[in-house]
Structure 1
Amino acid sequence: MATFTASGALLTNGDYYGTLAAVRDLGKQGIPIWLADSGATQAAASRYVRHHLPCPDRHQSFSALNQVGDWLIELGQRHPGLVLYPTSDDMAWIMAVRQNDLQAHYRLFQAPERAVFRLLNKASLYQTAAAHGLPAPATYYPDSPDSLNAIAARLTSEAGFPVIVKPKTQIGMRTNVKGLVARDATELITHVQTFLDQHSYQPALLAYAPEIRWPMVQAYLPQAASQTYTVAGFIDRHGDLLGVRASFKVLQQPVQIGIGVAFEGRPVLQRLTHKILKLAHAVGYFGVFETEFIYLAEQDQYLLMDFNPRYYGQMNFEIQRGLALPRMVYAAAYGDQTTLSQLAAQAAQTQLPLITTEITPRLDAPEIRQGDHARQRYCAGWLFRFLLRAQQASGRISAAQRQQWLDWIAESAAQGQAFDAIHDPNDPAPERRDKWLLCKKFLRHPRSSYRQHFL
């Protein structure tokens, strides 16, 4: 092992809000930030980034994942001692499979390869989660034309449409597809073939897990657009949960299938957290996590959708609510138990009350929607306002509905409980870069950009 001479944190994926959250959380503590990405991204514009290094684009070639891994090792040889933690599914997998090589040059807080892949592959995630009391939406796994035809026939006979055709994992995908909605058997078969033809995986992934080539077919639940309950936290090497926060995704982009734009605080349900922790223990995972559940209000049921073993998009919501996840990772990577314990204590002190009873109130109950947790609200302010204008212009929402959303965030802002994903008066450049990048996207891809924001 090389002598660790460099200090600071190496972050990747500078176009992700989660990366920017980590840059600011660590940079404000005086920790040197090294950013590796392939372009002029939002995080690269931050005042806290001291070193911006160009690295291979993980989407540009069939061997990109291996190239990124090799590049990280070469960088670590030149600057040994940086803290490295994953900011995306691709990075989580690269770091897991190259862990033995990377740990000679970086300070890591990295779960085993098997644990990471079992969480990022939804087929194995749902199987393991079900064994620990965490059900998922009805999901089918075709692996041949015959099995696909059988699934289509079953869904037709059981009135199981619509469904979503989704990748089993986002690791190593050449395209950024989230899912395709199929309303009948014909669309299902067409969408699966489209997926196989157009949404390929990099060879490194197919060699590692050839079964991921075929997509999965999952029941379409419209509640996912505005009733996704998220639980995020930090698990130490001993399997102890050192901090946790919960929220409700109330708006996403695109509206039908997309990523969260606006969130509202919710109480942590201890009965659900216990099951999440059991799932993590079962696969051997530790570190930062974010889990997503579709909440079915009528049944008062939580269906697991995702378990993200990495930094994630709305992480700044947790940081602003007292759970400093990047600093916890940094302390853990250094083996600094004193600082880690202090951060865990601060997280406990700032946490609003948990719900510890086995029978819990419905998340749409008035006492929950009007309680202290729900007054904590989060969005990327400028993008939130732009999306509302776009939705009104396309007729998807009325002027009155747009005003309701604006009042929603203004109410929390008046109480000091509104938190922004990107706006920071002490670090304004990333927000300007974010706006510029969206303008650039509309100019380069006007049709897809219009569909994403207006429809």
Structure 2
Amino acid sequence: MASRSTPIAADRSVPGLIVKFGDYPLHHGGVGAIRSLGRLGVPMFAVTEDRWTPAAASRYLSRGFVWPTTGTERPERLVEGLLGIGRRIGRPTLLIPTDEEAAVLIAEQADALRPRFLFPRVEPELPRRLASKQGLHQLCVEHGVPSPAAAFPDSYEEIARYAAAARFPVVAKNREAFERRRKPAVHGTTRIGGPRELLELAREWGPRPGVIIQEYLPREEAEDWIVHAYFDAESTALSMFTGVKVRSWPPHAGMTANAYVVDNPELAEMTAQFIKRIGFSGIVDLDWRYDRRDGLYKLLDFNPRMGAQFRLFENEWGIDVVRAQHLDLTGRKVPEGEQLAGRRFIVENIDLPAYAAYRRSGYTTPHAPARPSSTELAWVARDDIKPFFTMLVRFVRPGARHLLQLWRARRTRRRAIAE
């Protein structure tokens, strides 16, 4: 019988390195990974924007490497920087990417990085394709996985033809994940109410719009589900978790703010079959939306790396996806066990505004338990409190202003659509 009190026999001679490209210091996923492996006695290192990030403040961090990046640097420069960090650590180290740019770089530059680092073997082009909205949609079509109907216009003329025949509302997203680092055509997921609004927006997208236009799944007819898992070299799931997203920020289209572990064998099986067919190895974070109108789970996003909310999920042995990867790649057995159903995850700094927004909208999640079996907080931890206070200092003033700006922009857009 599994027991959470049984110590996990991690290989403490193999450290972990949190790899992130771009300026987003308030990332609770990186802090969660540092704590998860650090509590097992695994030495943890991290790339940080500066010395005063929450990750840098963790008691479980052996050392932070200050390396400000934008995510748009040439691959050669990023590889050189990682190899330099590897030389300073001085022993084989597990790479743990927290964004698509890092996950794609590691896959595409595997030959250069492998002498100093451990990471899953995967087809070099696959993570980039999975992170792309167009690439993911094509893979879903190829393998019979439901996904929202989508169009990928290459010109204003194609958009005009689409607008004349489409059923509105629709949503627009950037076609490639990396566009958010440059000059994105749209910011996040943008709901478009009608042809006129679409054509007005499209005039700002340039001669070759890098967008995907997707069918809108009404929130009152949908539920947001998440799947986190770790797959070995044979694309077999060594850990698999399912949960339901209760709130996100920005509302219905952003980062998870509140979620519960809920058993969903059907969704787990769909994910396992898809991963097996495409041959992926490593940690995955998938967003699915259940459409009550046709009874289908539709795949929205595929993150080929650790998700920020991964600490929502543990099995009865205390295994999460980061621990599973470290155990597997260091030749240790990954204990199998049931996920801890009813467990709740809260991101303190964004769940409060999300709660207010969802309460006004009347949105509910039928599958969420009435009461959690336990709660994991993104920032607060009794054994590692400094990241929480560091987050507060960095978040309160600029963060509150940013949240207010986002909320006002969305309210203005809704009014414009209504008019």
* Residue in structure 1 matching 2:390, options 424, 433, 436: 433
Compared with structure 1, are the counterparts of its residues 256 and 195 closer, same or farther at alpha carbon in structure 2 (3 Å cutoff)? farther
Q: Which residue of 2 aligns with 1:344?
A: 335
Compared with structure 1, are the counterparts of its residues 249 and 128 closer, same or farther at alpha carbon in structure 2 (3 Å cutoff)? same
Overall identity of the aligned pairs, in % = 22
Compared with structure 1, are the counterparts of its residues 448 and 225 closer, same or farther at alpha carbon in structure 2 (3 Å cutoff)? farther
Q: Which residue of 2 aligns with 1:316?
A: 311
* Residue in structure 1 matching 2:36, options 25, 28, 43: 25
1:175-220 Cα deviation digits (max 9, x unpaired): 57312221112221333343449xxxxxxxxxxxxx9x62110112
Across the aligned residues of Structure 1 and Structure 2, the Cα RMSD in angstroms comes to 3.1
Does residue 380 in structure 1 map to residue 347 in structure 2?
yes
Q: Which moved more, 1:187-196 or 1:445-454?
A: 445-454
> Would the aligned equivalents of 1:38 and 1:55 in 2 still touch at CA under 8 Å?
yes
Provide the C-alpha distance between the structure 1 equivalents of 2:211 and 2:268, rounded to a whole number of angstroms.
29
Give the SS at the match of 2:159: helix
1:66-95 Cα deviation digits (max 9, x unpaired): 533331122224434121122111111111
> Would the aligned equivalents of 1:233 and 1:245 in 2 still touch at CA under 8 Å?
yes
Does residue 75 in structure 1 map to residue 70 in structure 2?
no
Q: Shift of the alpha carbon at 1:450? A: 4.9
Q: Shift of the alpha carbon at 1:57? A: 1.4
Where does the alignment leave 5 or more consecutive residues of structure 1 unmatched? 1-5, 198-210, 353-372
TM-score normalized by the length of structure 2: 0.83
Which aligned pairs between 1:1-400 and structure 2 lie closer than 5 A? Answer: 7-13=14-20, 15-39=26-50, 40-59=52-71, 62-63=72-73, 66-78=76-88, 79-155=90-166, 160-171=167-178, 173-174=180-181, 177-196=187-206, 214-223=210-219, 227-270=223-266, 272-319=267-314, 322-334=318-330, 336=331, 339=332, 341=333, 343-345=334-336, 348=337, 350-351=338-339, 373=341, 375-381=342-348, 383-385=350-352, 387-388=354-355, 391=357, 397=360
Provide the C-alpha distance between the structure 1 equivalents of 2:157 and 2:120, rounded to a whole number of angstroms.
44
Compared with structure 1, are the counterparts of its residues 130 and 266 closer, same or farther at alpha carbon in structure 2 (3 Å cutoff)? farther
Provide the C-alpha distance between the structure 1 equivalents of 2:146 and 2:392, rounded to a whole number of angstroms.
39
> Would the aligned equivalents of 1:10 and 1:35 in 2 still touch at CA under 8 Å?
yes
Provide the C-alpha distance between the structure 1 equivalents of 2:374 and 2:31, rounded to a whole number of angstroms.
20
Q: Shift of the alpha carbon at 1:42? A: 2.1
Q: Shift of the alpha carbon at 1:127? A: 2.0
Provide the C-alpha distance between the structure 2 equivalents of 1:70 and 1:280, rounded to a whole number of angstroms.
31
Provide the C-alpha distance between the structure 1 equivalents of 2:370 and 2:269, rounded to a whole number of angstroms.
35
Compared with structure 1, are the counterparts of its residues 299 and 126 closer, same or farther at alpha carbon in structure 2 (3 Å cutoff)? same
> Would the aligned equivalents of 2:107 and 2:122 in 1 still touch at CA under 8 Å?
yes
Give the SS at the match of 1:397: helix
Give the SS at the match of 1:131: helix
1:118-163 Cα deviation digits (max 9, x unpaired): 21122221222233331111111101122111111111xxxx1111
Q: Which moved more, 1:441-450 or 1:321-330?
A: 441-450
> Would the aligned equivalents of 2:257 and 2:351 in 1 still touch at CA under 8 Å?
yes
Compared with structure 1, are the counterparts of its residues 267 and 115 closer, same or farther at alpha carbon in structure 2 (3 Å cutoff)? same
Q: For 2:181, give the aligned amino acid.
A: R
Q: Shift of the alpha carbon at 1:316? A: 0.4
Provide the C-alpha distance between the structure 2 equivalents of 1:330 and 1:319, rounded to a whole number of angstroms.
15
1:364-401 Cα deviation digits (max 9, x unpaired): xxxxxxxxx4x33221245423543x549xxx639xx8
